[in-house]
């Protein structure tokens, strides 16, 4: 099929896209050439047997496979660059098929909050569990390659480019890769330090990375030169970024024309995503305050004295796991969701999906009080906590409190029963080492943090909108 980019308003491939991708593949190819040289230095071989066809097999250097991979990438790069004129585009084959198998299966996973969150939580858990395998340089390198290839292939989709290519969204793509890279780097150091500490007899200096021959050096030149180079690098990146990408400027402000969707700045999209599950007074005011308060409280509730000044996992497993889940799944993953997947009417869209304003999603959320009274108690007893507008305030208040009693009881139990219960069971040592006050502060922040995923699960399983629903007082939980 011949697609003319000047006619198709939503072209998946254009000469500019192919040209850009050509450069991306070229960079990736060059990166792999360096990797290939690194593997070659290690001088490792693999035996190829080809199902016995080669007898005992032949030994080839492991670098050979990387060399083949790099040259394929280079070929792909030149293919993109030389075929990037309009006449070839219709015949170009290295692109995602619109609504094909890959696109639709990826979209069906990410465009569903349940699978999205389960995947992000499972991903973090697997990363922690398989960390020793993850930190192998080859594994890390392959993951980086897959991430870049995924991005490159996805760029051949028009709708994907529309979201990712928005100037203000570019930093989030960078954030994604940076967070991934630094998390890998953390595990790389932590796993090595864990191993060293396990075999340590407690004599001499603690045998963590960078601590052998840890001599004092003069700040001039060792630090100030590094800083100078860093400043020059950052300046170069900023200037290049500023020249290549224009800062966004939309139409002049108009309070009469509400854009759909209306989004907060990207770094607040995790908070805006919470609005789906909690009312503004919680999602927009209480929870952000709790996040700040919880962060401030961190050094005062962490009673673990070891693990200060080096990357480590085993010595601080609980605090690291809590922080990784908080930062990766409840903050970064929510920002990604809010930025890339939330479209018109705050509906969720796949990364390759067109943002259709008319997409309809059934909303049939219920309140806990409805589940309790309407479905359970009133049909049996005949009693319903209702009031008329003519009733006195005290009757109204009483009826509201009775109506919402199930939610209040659940919440009070959550915050008052769970902490002592955990103190005598799973968090016994914590309670003893922290003392009462510290433990209470700690568990309440922890329960607050868990409140978000818990409400999500309640929403997905029972369509639960509010535990406590008192619109009369603007009080919904």
Q: Which residues pair with 469 in a beta bridge?
A: 476
Structure tokens at 376: 């359970």
- Of residues 230-259, those binding other proteins (CB under 8 A): 230-231, 234-235, 238-239, 241-243, 245-255, 257-259
> Rounded CA gap, 313 and 316, in Å?
6
Phi first, then psi, for residue 13 (nearest 5°) are -120, 135
Identified binder of other proteins from the candidate list 29, 70, 156, 272, rule CB under 8 A: 272
| CB contact at 8 A, 383 and 142 | no
Nearer to other proteins, 71 or 345 (CB): 345
| CB contact at 8 A, 253 and 322 | no
Report in angstroms how near the CB of residue 187 gets to other proteins at its nearest. Answer: 10
| CB contact at 8 A, 127 and 134 | yes
| 3-class DSSP assignment, residue 348 | strand
Report in angstroms how near the CB of residue 407 gets to other proteins at its nearest. Answer: 14
- Of residues 134-173, those binding other proteins (CB under 8 A): 168, 171
- Please report the sign of the dihedral spanned by the C-alpha atoms of residue 373, residue 374, residue 376, residue 377: positive
Of 395, 264, 432, nearest to 338 by C-alpha is 264
Please, which residues have CB within 8 angstroms of residue 22's CB and are 6 or more apart in sequence?
A: 77, 78, 79, 80, 81, 84
Nearer to other proteins, 83 or 188 (CB): 188
Question: Judged by CB under 8 A, does residue 175 bind other proteins?
Answer: yes
> Rounded CA gap, 335 and 351, in Å?
14
Nearer to other proteins, 14 or 124 (CB): 124
- Of residues 40-59, those binding other proteins (CB under 8 A): none
Question: Judged by CB under 8 A, does residue 185 bind other proteins?
Answer: yes
> Rounded CA gap, 283 and 289, in Å?
10
> Rounded CA gap, 176 and 377, in Å?
49
Question: Judged by CB under 8 A, does residue 343 bind other proteins?
Answer: no
Cis amide prior to 147 (ω within 30 degrees): no
Question: Judged by CB under 8 A, does residue 215 bind other proteins?
Answer: yes
Identified binder of other proteins from the candidate list 12, 66, 184, 307, rule CB under 8 A: 307
Only one of the segments 92-100, 307-315, 382-390, 391-399 lies at the binding site for other proteins (rule: CB under 8 A); that segment is 307-315
Question: Judged by CB under 8 A, does residue 199 bind other proteins?
Answer: no
Nearer to other proteins, 55 or 248 (CB): 248
Q: Site for other proteins (CB under 8 A): how many residues? A: 94
Report in angstroms how near the CB of residue 302 gets to other proteins at its nearest. Answer: 7
Question: Judged by CB under 8 A, does residue 268 bind other proteins?
Answer: yes
Question: Judged by CB under 8 A, does residue 174 bind other proteins?
Answer: yes
Nearer to other proteins, 52 or 252 (CB): 252
């Amino acid at each position: 099929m011949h697609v003319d980019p000047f006619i198709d308003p939503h072209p998946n491939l254009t000469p500019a896209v192919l040209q850009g991708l050509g450069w991306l593949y070229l960079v990736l190819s060059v990166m792999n050439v360096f990797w290939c040289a690194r593997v070659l230095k290690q001088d490792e071989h693999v035996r190829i047997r080809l199902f016995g066809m080669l007898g005992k097999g032949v030994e080839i250097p492991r670098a050979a496979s990387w060399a083949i991979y790099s040259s394929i990438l280079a070929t792909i790069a030149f293919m993109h660059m030389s075929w990037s004129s309009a006449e070839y585009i219709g015949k170009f084959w290295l692109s995602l098929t619109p609504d094909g198998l890959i696109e639709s299966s990826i979209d069906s996973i990410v465009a569903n909050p349940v699978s999205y969150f389960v995947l992000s939580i499972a991903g973090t858990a697997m990363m922690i569990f398989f960390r020793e395998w993850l930190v192998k340089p080859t594994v890390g390198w392959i993951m980086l390659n897959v991430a870049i290839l995924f991005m490159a292939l996805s760029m051949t989709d028009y709708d994907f480019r529309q979201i990712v290519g928005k100037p203000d969204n570019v930093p989030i793509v960078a954030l994604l890769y940076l967070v991934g890279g630094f998390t890998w780097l953390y595990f790389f150091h932590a796993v090595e330090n864990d191993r060293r500490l396990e075999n340590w007899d407690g004599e001499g200096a603690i045998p963590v990375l960078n601590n052998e021959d840890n001599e004092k050096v003069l700040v001039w030149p060792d630090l100030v030169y590094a800083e100078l180079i860093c400043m020059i690098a950052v300046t170069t990146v900023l200037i290049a970024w500023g020249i290549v990408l224009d800062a966004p400027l939309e139409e002049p402000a108009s309070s009469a024309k509400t854009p759909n969707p209306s989004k907060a700045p990207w770094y607040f999209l995790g908070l805006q995503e919470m609005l789906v599950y909690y009312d503004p007074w919680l999602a927009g005011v209480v929870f952000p305050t709790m996040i700040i308060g919880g962060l401030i409280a961190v050094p005062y509730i962490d009673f673990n004295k070891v693990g200060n000044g080096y990357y480590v996992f085993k010595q601080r497993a609980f605090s690291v796991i809590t922080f990784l889940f908080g930062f990766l799944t409840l903050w970064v993953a929510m920002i990604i969701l809010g930025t890339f997947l939330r479209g018109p009417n705050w509906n969720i869209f796949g990364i390759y999906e067109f943002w259709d304003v008319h997409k309809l999603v059934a909303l049939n959320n219920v309140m806990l009080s409805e589940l309790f009274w309407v479905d359970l108690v009133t049909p049996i007893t005949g009693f319903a906590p209702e009031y008329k507008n003519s009733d006195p305030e005290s009757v109204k208040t009483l009826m509201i409190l009775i109506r919402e009693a199930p939610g209040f009881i659940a919440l009070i139990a959550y915050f008052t029963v769970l902490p002592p219960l955990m103190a005598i069971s799973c968090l016994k040592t914590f309670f003893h080492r922290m003392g009462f006050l510290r433990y209470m502060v700690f568990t309440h922040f922890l329960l607050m943090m868990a409140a978000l995923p818990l409400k999500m699960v309640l929403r997905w399983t029972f369509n639960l909108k509010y535990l406590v629903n008192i619109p009369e007082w603007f009080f919904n939980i």
